[in-house]
Homo-oligomer: A and B are copies of this chain.
Amino acid sequence: MATIHDVAERAGVSVTTVSRVLNNRGYISESTRSKVYQCMEELGYQPNEIARSLLKKQSNIIGLIVPNVSHPFFGELASFVEYYAYEHGFKMLLCNSHLDPVKEKEYIEMMRRNRVDGIIMGSHTLEVEDYRNLHHPIVTFDRQIDSEIPYMSSDNYRGGELATELLVKKDCKKIAHICGNLELDLLANQRTQAFQDVVSRHEVEHLIVQTDMNVFDQQQYERIIAELFREHPDIDGVFATSDIIAAYVVQHCYKLGKRVPHDIRIVGYDDVSAASWVVPSITTIQQPIEEMSKQAIELIRGQLAEETIRMANILPVTLIERGTT
Contacts and interface: CB of A to CB of B under 8 A. Distances in A.
A254 B277 contact: no
A76 B82 contact: no
B46 A109 contact: yes
A83 interface: yes
A135 B302 CA distance: 38
A318 interface: no
A230 to B, nearest CB: 19
B50 A115 contact: yes
Interface string A77-89: 0110011001000
Nearest to A281: B251
Contact of A254 (B49, B50, B133, B279): B279
A225 to B, nearest CB: 11
Contact of A79 (B70, B83, B218, B273): B70
A264 to B, nearest CB: 13
Interface stretch (A51-59, A137-145, A149-157, A181-189): A51-59
A96 B83 contact: yes
A12 B218 CA distance: 54
A44 B254 CA distance: 54
A13 interface: no
Interface string A117-161: 000000000000000010100000000000000000000000000
Contacts of A204: none
B92 A93 contact: yes
B91 A114 contact: yes
A52 to B, nearest CB: 9
Interface in A8-58: 44, 46-51, 53-54
A111 B118 CA distance: 19
A24 to B, nearest CB: 17
Nearest to A260: B279
Contacts of A113: 46-49
A274 interface: yes
A251 B273 contact: no
Given A94-B92, A247-B278, A279-B254, A273 B75 contact: no
A322 to B, nearest CB: 11
A61 B59 CA distance: 13
Contacts of A248: 277
Given A61-B93, A274-B274, 11 more contacts: A44-B133, A46-B113, A51-B54, A54-B54, A69-B82, A70-B79, A78-B94, A86-B95, A92-B94, A244-B277, A278-B278
25 contacts: A1-B112, A1-B115, A44-B133, A46-B109, A46-B113, A48-B54, A48-B115, A50-B53, A61-B93, A68-B79, A69-B78, A70-B72, A70-B79, A70-B273, A75-B75, A82-B94, A82-B95, A83-B96, A91-B93, A92-B93, A92-B95, A93-B94, A218-B277, A247-B278, A278-B279
